[in-house]
Amino acid sequence: MALSIRQNEILELARSEGRVLVEDLALRFDVTLQTIRRDLGDLAEAGLLDRVHGGAVARTGMVNLGYEARRRMNAEAKAAIGAACAAMIPDNSSLILNLGTTTEAVAQALLHHSNITVVTNNMNVANILLANPGCEIMVAGGALRRSDGGLVGELTTQFFEQFKVDYAIIGASALDADGDLLDFDLAEVRVSRAILRQAREAFLVTDHSKIGRRAPARICSLSDVTRVFTDRPLSDDLTRRCTTWGTGITICR
């Protein structure tokens, strides 16, 4: 089928982000919900997307491409965020790194740290840190998500409950205007909450593309986070809220 300009853009968004939502697309393109549903239906019929409740996901077989595209998106910003976050992690400490391409950038920046213990449900993080002989790596059990190398599920949650670490470093799919961290996958949300409970300090790492986005499942509030590392300033309102909450903000260039 011949795709419209809008349908091509929707397809690229699905490939880069893994999932698109009807309401977000309608706002983005300034069209009706019905128009977006029709676009997604056409793309699904053409075998390019799979419909899910509230939106669509990249078709199986295209998911790896989507992950690689996400990894490349804002790569310089993610590298800066990773470096700034890692600079605040001292040697001789323990930490948990969860899923996401930005947490993987943190792992890359930890390659020269010594005597650290990293607990993770991210196979990519584990593989990156194999190059650091001064890092003890502990990998969670659970169901392996082939799309991004993540381990999720009840076993993963139970695994993290056995630890108490110095730092949790987490990512999120979205950060809304109220300061709530959001995600699309409830299983992943449960794991993230468990990680936050088991850490003395929590760092959020997120590039600007996640700020102002929407997703249906709530992880926590920025008030539950020690510091947020991002590449662009938060809104004035959210910056004031962070000041009230005692949440630090590091803008990484």
Q: Are 102 and 22 in the same domain?
A: no
b/e map 143-159, b = 16+ CB within 10 Å: eebeebbbbbbeebbeb
**pTM, entire model:** 0.75
- Please list, in sequence order, all residues whose beta carbon lies within 8 angstroms of the beta carbon of residue 90, skipping any fewer than 6 positions away: none
Domain match, 37 and 141 both: no
Q: Are residues 44 and 144 in the same domain?
A: no
Q: Is the pLDDT assigned to residue 13 strictly greater than 90?
A: no
**Same domain, yes or no: 53 and 133:** no
Domain stops at, among 43, 68, 93:
68
CB 76 within 8 A of CB 83: no
Assess whether pLDDT exceeds 80 at residue 62.
no
- Helical residues (DSSP H) of 46-118, grouped into ranges: 63-72, 75-87, 101-109
Same domain, 78 and 181: yes
Mean pLDDT score across all residues of the chain? 90
CATH no. for residue 212?
A: 3.40.50.1360
Tell me how many domains the chain contains.
Answer: 2
Give the pLDDT confidence score for residue 1 in this predicted structure: 55
Site of tokens 């809220």: 241
Same domain, 49 and 101: no
pLDDT for residue 224 = 98
**Residues sharing a CB contact under 8 Å with residue 67, sequence separation 6 or more, in sequence order:** 18, 101, 147, 148
Considering the domain architecture, whether residues 136 and 221 belong to the same structural domain is answered as yes
pLDDT in tens, 195-227: 999 999 999 999 988 888 778 889 999 999 999
**Cα 229 from chain centre:** 13
Share of the chain above pLDDT 90, in %: 68
Picking from 32, 52, 68, the residue at the C-terminal end of a domain is: 68
Q: Which amino acid is at 9?
A: E
User: Among residues 35, 68, 101, which one ends one of the domains?
Assistant: 68
How far apart CA 245 and CA 42 sit, in angstroms, is 46
Select the highest-mean-pLDDT range: 88-102, 136-150, 203-217. 88-102
Query: Do 13 and 135 reside in the same domain of the chain?
Result: no
Give the per-residue pLDDT at 63.
38
Give the residues across from 204 on adjacent strands. 170, 228
pLDDT score, position 67: 63
* pLDDT higher than threshold 70 for residue 68: no
pLDDT value at position 61?
Answer: 45
Radius of gyration of the chain (CA): 18
Mean local confidence (pLDDT), 120-144? 96
33 and 64 housed in the same domain = yes
Could you report the per-residue pLDDT of 162-202, keeping only the tens digit for each? 999 999 999 998 899 999 999 888 888 999 999 999 999 99
**Which amino acid is it at 27?**
L
CATH code, domain with 19: 1.10.10.10
Check whether residue 156 and residue 197 sit in a common domain.
yes
231 and 115 housed in the same domain: yes
Which residue range is the domain that position 57 belongs to? 5-68
β-sheet bridge partners, residue 183: 217
Q: Could you say which DSSP state residue 216 is in?
A: S
Tell me, yes or no, whether 94 and 151 share the same domain.
yes
Taking residues 3-8, report their average pLDDT. Answer: 84
Chain position carrying tokens 């662009």: 232
